[in-house]
Amino acid sequence: MAAIPDVIISHYPVNYDSRGYFKRLYEVDFSDEALQFVHSSVSYNTSKGTLRGLHFQTTPSNEWKFVKCIKGEIFDCLVDVRLNSRTYGQVMCLELNEKNNLGILIPPGIAHGFQTLEDDTLVFYAMTDVHRPELGRTLSWSDMSLKIPWPLVPTSISISDEKGLNWPVAY
């Protein structure tokens, strides 16, 4: 799947020694923007096949999101919902896991979701805007027009994610 402009994928080497490893989660230098993260969260997922998303904040939120899988593995999916973007409706997917140490910086107007590929998966998030439930939207993960190649039949999904909006949507 093609890249979406303004989405930045970062990778940092992992330093191993006899004690274990040291791994960087995030570093400002991969972005021209000096982002100010206002909160961070961890999503713990007990079962392989758990699906979360596709979530985004609508305007006036200007939320950037940094996502990294710190334990286990996920199939991560982004959809450009920026109406004036040349890649509006484009889907981008990749695998994030504790071994490849990839992180994704996601700009405003991009819907984000993931499916766990292993049991006991941890996903780290950092956001640049306070969460405002009234601005939160969910794009239907199963909308056939998006052609998202989810690798597994979902084993667990929230009621609100099951009721996501059908395409088209706009930021």
Q: Which residues belong to the active site? A: 55, 125
Q: DSSP states of 66-126 as a string?
A: EEEEEESEEEEEEEE--TTSTTTT-EEEEEEETTT-EEEEE-TTEEEEEEESSSSEEEEEE
Instruction: Compute CA distances 169 → 26, 76, 99, whole Å.
Output: 30, 20, 34
For 99, other C-beta atoms within 10 Å of its C-beta total: 9
d(CA 57, CA 17): 41
Among 159, 121, 107, 116, which residue's Cα sits nearest to residue 138?
159
